[in-house]
Amino acid sequence: MAGAASTGTAHAASPVFAHGVASGDPLPDGVLLWTRVVTSAAIRWEVARDEDFRRVVKHGVTRASAARDHTVKVEVHGLRPNTRYWYRFRAGDAVSPVGRTKTAGCGSELNFGVASCANWPAGHFAGYGYLARQDLDAVIHLGDYIYENLVGTVRPHEPAHQCVTLDDYRQRHAQYKTDRHVQALHAAHAMIATWDDHESADNSSSIGSPQHDPATEGPWGARLAAATQAYFEWMPVREGRLDRTFRFGELATLTMLDLRSYRTDTTILGTAQRDRLITTLTTDGARWQLVGNSVMISPLKVPPLPGLPQSNPDQWDGFPVDRDLVLRSLGDRKNTVFLTGDIHSSWANEVPLGGQPVATEYVVTSLTSDNFDELLKVPPRTASLQVEAQFQALNPHVRFVELDSHGVSTLRVTADEVRFDWHYVADKRDPDSAVARAHSFRTRHNTALTERVPL
C-alpha cells in the first residue's frame, strides 16, 4: 500500500502531551479528537487541510480536568466527507504531535486496519507501527486494547498488580498510550474501537468475571464502572454506548458491538442492542454490512486437547438464542461480514445456519497475546499443524485457521468483494520487528463464501 504521510509517526513532543493524540469515530462531517494534558491552561485545537496547518478550517478552545483524568475530547463538525485532515493541540507554549485523520465517506473502496489483543507484557507493538504506515480510512479495534492482568514477561505492566480500581485502570491506559507504536497508530488514523473482556476482567459480563473475587476486590459493579469510566476517558470513542453504527456512503455500514456491558447468563447482546443490530442488518441499504464483533460468532467444536474444554461458552456458542435470531434475520442477503478478535489466532469462516453459509467471518490474530504454540510451549508451525487440521475436520465451515502467528489485518472493501489480509509480526519481542502479509482471503458479494487469494 502507499506510504503514509510523515505525520504517521509521532514526533518527539512536549512532555505536556506525553500520551500523544488520537482521533476516532469518523462521521461524514466530523471526527472526535483526543489528547491528554496536565495543565490548567486553556487548550487550543486546530484542524487543517494540510499537515503544515496553512489551511486551518476549524479551531477552538477547551480545558482538561482531573475529573476526567486530564483527558480531552473535542467533537469536530462541519468537515467534508471522505477527506483527510490534520490536527494538533496547544497548551501555553506546548504543542502536541500532529495527528492525521479522515472523515467517513463514499469512495470506490474502503481500507481499514483491524487489530485486537495487544498485551503489553507479552511483547512489543510493531504491528501497530506497521498499520500506522499503511494508507487506511480508519483502524477498527476489536478489543483487548489493554489487559487488566499481569500475563507476560517481555516488559512490565503498570501498575504492578491486576487492575481493580479507577486509578488502576487509568494508570494502565496511560501506560499503553506512552508506547511509540500506539502513539504512531493513533496519530496516523482515526480509530473505531469497541472493547472486549480484558478492558475490565477476563471473560467479563454485566454480572461478573471468573477472575473477580467480590470478597477481596469489592462489588463487580464498582469495578466494571471503573473500567468503563477509564475506557471512555482514554479512548477516542464518543460518549455513550460502545455499540454504534458508522456509515461509509453506499458501500459499507459498520456496526460495532459491545458484547460485555449487556451480557448476562442468557444474552450476549441484551435486547436493545440485539434489536438495533437486526434492524440495521435487515434495513440498511449499504452494499456491505460489516460487524465489529469482539468474540467468534461461528459455532466451533474444539478438538480434544489436554486442558482445553471442547467448546468456548465465552463466544457466541454460549448464546445460541441471540446467534439464531441474528443469523436468521439475514435471510438470503449474503452481504454481512463479521470482523472478530479475541482468540489470538487467524480464521476465515463461512458462518453457517442450517448447514448453509449466511455470512462470512474473518478473525484477526492477537497483536501480542500468547497463542497456541506459546501456551503449549512448542515451536511455531509444529504441533499446531495437526490441531489446525482437526479444527477444520470438526468444523467444515472453517476454511482457514492459523494458530501460531501474531500481527494485524487489513480489510479492503469494494462493490465486488471484501478482502481480508493477515500481516504477521516476525518476532513480537522485537519492537522493530519485520511485519509482512502472510495470508489473503476474499468474499465476493452475494456469496457468503471465503476464498484464498494467492499472495
Residues in contact with Fe ion by the rule CB under 5 A: 117, 144, 369
- What is the secondary structure of 71-134 as a DSSP string? EEEEEE-SPPTT-EEEEEEEETTEEPPPEEEE-----S-EEEEEE----GGG---HHHHHHHTS
For residues 197 and 243, which CB has a smaller minimum distance to Fe ion in the complex? 197
Nearer CB in complex with Fe ion: 369/450: 369
Q: Which is nearer to Fe ion, 46 or 148 (CB)?
A: 148
Beta bridge partners, 27, equal: 30
3-state DSSP assignment of residue 271? helix
Grid cell 443490530 — which residue? 277
Instruction: Report the residue number, 340 or 369, with the smaller CB distance to Fe ion.
Output: 369
Cell of 330: 439475514
Query: Cβ 129 to Fe ion, closest distance in Å?
Result: 20
CA distances from 270 to 206, 278, 297, 349, 355 (A): 10, 12, 16, 25, 26
Q: How far is the CB of 358 from Fe ion (least distance, A)?
A: 26
The distance of closest approach from Cβ of residue 311 to Fe ion in the complex, given in angstroms and rounded to an integer, is: 18
Q: Choose between 72 and 126: whose C-beta lies nearer to Fe ion.
A: 126
**Nearest approach, Cβ of 1 to Fe ion (angstroms)?**
26
Quick one: three-class SS letters along 309-368? CCCCCCCHHHCHHHHHHHHHHCCCCCCEEEEECCCCCEEEEEEEECCEEEEEEEECCCCC
- Least distance to Fe ion, CB of residue 366, Å: 6
Give SS3 for 232: helix
Min dist CB 369 to Fe ion, Å, is: 5
**Which CB sits closer to Fe ion, 5 or 151?**
151
Amino acid at 21: V
**In this structure, are residues 298 and 349 in contact, taking their beta carbons and an 8 Å threshold?**
yes
